[in-house]
Amino acid sequence: MAGTLVANQINTDTGLFSTNNAYSGIAKAWLNYNGTSQTVNGSFNVSSVTYSATGKYVLNFTTAMPNANYAVSCTSSNTNGGSYTGTGSLFYASTSAAGALTTTTCAVAFTGNNSISAYENPFNACVIIFSS
C-alpha cells in the first residue's frame, strides 16, 4: 500500500517518539540550568541534575541515549553579573574507567573565562546533546 500521510501535529507521552530518539540529526537532550540556585529553567529528556561539586553537574536522561558516542556542547554565563561568559566541558564524574558519557548520564563542568582554572556555579548553564 502506498500513500501520503499528512498531519498537523502528532502527540505522544511515552515511547520512542516522546524523546525524538527515532530521528537522526536533532537534539536528543537539552538543559537550561541555574547553577547558583540549583534549579532547572527548562529541559528536554533530562529527568534531573545531580550537583557533584562547585561547577560540576551530572545530567540524568529521561530516555537513554542509543549509545555513549554522542556530542555535547556547553556554555554558561557567570555568577556575578559581570561581562564575561563561562566555558563548559565534559568531566569525569568518578575515578572509574568509565568516561563522562554513558547512555543514561552526562557529566559537565563550568569555569569562568576570567579564571579558566576555577570551577564556578554558573548563573545560566546551557547544554545540548546530539546523538544518532
Question: What average pLDDT does the chain have?
Answer: 78
The pTM score is 0.75
Residue 98 is predicted with a pLDDT of: 47
Taking only the tens place, the pLDDT of each residue in 91-112 is 765 544 445 789 999 999 888 7
pLDDT band per the 50, 70, 90 thresholds, residue 81? low
Buried/exposed 75-107: b ≥16 CB within 10 Å, e otherwise = ebbbbeeeeeebbbeebebeeeeeebbbeebbb
- Residues 6+ positions from 73 with CB-CB distance below 8 Å: 88, 127, 128, 129
Q: How far apart are CA 86 and CA 76, in angstroms?
A: 5
Residue range 68-81: mean pLDDT, rounded: 80
